Amino acid sequence: MVTVRHRGRVIWIVLDGVGLQASPDAKAYGDEGAATLPHVAAACGGLSLPNLGQLGLGNLADVRGVPPLADAGGAYGRLTERSAGKDSIIGHWELAGVVQDRPFATFPQGFPDKLVAEFAEIAGVRPLGNVPASGISVLREYGAEHVRTGRPILYTSVDSVFQIAAHEDIIPPDELYRLCLAARRLVDRYDIARVIARPFVGDALQGFRRSPRRKDFPTPPPRATLLECLTGQGFLVSAVGKISDLFAGRGISRSTTTLDNADGMNKILSCLADLDNGLLMANLIDFDMIYGHRNDAVGFGRALEEFDAWLPKLYAVMRPEDLLVVSADHGCDPTTAGTDHTREYVPLLIWSKSMRKGVKLGDRRSFADVAATLAQYFNVTGVSAGESFAHLLGTTGIVRL
């Protein structure tokens, strides 16, 4: 048993899709005009984010309603993505210390005939679709035929995903999960990041809608992440939301699923109460899934204000030695013409009750700087990427090195 050398709790919340501004290489991704948070704030006529503002959010971008503060109370900076790609897996892996030099494969014209034939063989029937589309549009287009024929709906997106949709009354979720697991073994040869089960309910008359029983089957990280380093050296890692899915369960001590942001915030509080020391890592997905991909800037802004208003509840249960980290995994600008993720700087905000002052963390050269810093905070080895900024936090009184 490895002796834990530093006891404490880190609460790390990833705001899925909350970018700040197009990153230096955004043009290569077609995202040179992206600026998720500023554009959301402008579309809403300004945002009320006093708690995030106090941490220093207004110092990172021109966010209407969130002015910069000379005396911000948190440590604040911007993270730059080094990995090739801009999806949630790539972003989370880099945050946890694994940088990917090449992106996963995408299929903007649909999957190859050979792969579709192989999938049809394990499904026992040829799928419907095989198109790049949004989840809502495929239900409108193929939902009724799926119910009539029992053929699963296969589709993809701009991300590296092999998505299988099925009505819960036609292919029950557990059966759909088994089909996705079998498909996972097929798609490994095609360098596809995720197989996603997309159960849905409803009918043609009232409309079909996704159920909350989505399940992801990702490829595992190619190298050890911060999460695996922590669990391998005596710490607990409590995952809330889709964190376990993104890391293929590796480095996770406990995993708690969530329905939406509100449920996620409630479960952060309950899971923190059960964590004596170690890392609680949570993903709040609504910004990306419900608002960014559906071009709903006003809903996006409302969700940000709800998160901000919830933060004092978290502060109230944090111990003096606890460390809060708020970041994002990519942008998802709802004001752009498409519905894709966007290549952007993302915020980095850090706070503790023991902080004596705020500090500028600057523009970090990699998302992995967070992993390197937390590895130093917990005094664990094995994180190979990123540059720690723990020495800067040391000046605030929240890191004892």
Summarised one tens digit per residue, pLDDT across range 295-305 is 999 999 999 99
H or E element: which one contains 324?
strand 323-327
Q: Give the pLDDT confidence score for residue 1 in this predicted structure.
A: 31
Choose the weakest-confidence range: 62-71, 127-136, 248-257, 313-322.
127-136
397 or 276, greater pLDDT: 276
Q: Give the pLDDT confidence score for residue 2 in this predicted structure.
A: 36
Task: Reply yes or no on whether the pLDDT at 5 is more than 90.
Answer: no
Question: What number is the average pLDDT over the span 135-158?
Answer: 94
Tell me the CB-side half-sphere exposure of residue 287, using CA atoms within 13 A: 28
Question: What number is the average pLDDT over the span 229-246?
Answer: 96
Choose the weakest-confidence range: 1-5, 62-66, 208-212, 238-242.
1-5
pLDDT tens by residue, 197-227? 999 999 998 999 999 899 999 999 999 999 9
Q: By C-alpha distance, which of 353, 362, 364 is closest to 396? A: 353
Q: Give the pLDDT confidence score for residue 398 in this predicted structure.
A: 73
Using only C-alpha atoms, the chain has a radius of gyration, in whole angstroms, of: 21
Q: Give the pLDDT confidence score for residue 111 in this predicted structure.
A: 97
Task: Reply yes or no on whether the pLDDT at 3 is more than 80.
Answer: no
Task: Reply yes or no on whether the pLDDT at 359 is more than 60.
Answer: yes
Three-state DSSP state, 255: strand
Q: By C-alpha distance, which of 246, 249, 250 is closest to 224? A: 250
Contact partners, residue 70, CB within 8 Å, separation at least 6: none
Task: Reply yes or no on whether the pLDDT at 274 is more than 80.
Answer: yes
- Domains of the chain, first to last: 9-102+220-394 (3.40.720.10), 113-217 (3.30.70.1250)
Question: What number is the average pLDDT over the span 136-142?
Answer: 92
Residue pair 160/192 in contact by the 8 Å Cβ criterion? yes
337 or 254, greater pLDDT: 254
Between CA 365 and CA 121 the distance in angstroms is 46
Task: Reply yes or no on whether the pLDDT at 313 is more than 80.
Answer: yes
Between CA 169 and CA 148 the distance in angstroms is 11
User: CA–CA distance from 131 to each of 127, 171, 179, 271, 387 (Å)?
Assistant: 11, 20, 19, 39, 41
Q: Give the pLDDT confidence score for residue 159 in this predicted structure.
A: 85
Question: What number is the average pLDDT over the span 86-113?
Answer: 94
Mean pLDDT rounded to a whole number for the chain: 94
Q: Which residues of 276-287 are buried (b: 16+ CB within 10 A; e: fewer)?
A: eebbbbbbbbbb
- Which stretches of 37-160 are assigned E, i.e. beta strand? 75-79, 128-132, 153-156
Question: What number is the average pLDDT over the span 20-39?
Answer: 96
Q: Give the pLDDT confidence score for residue 135 in this predicted structure.
A: 80
Residue pair 34/15 in contact by the 8 Å Cβ criterion? no
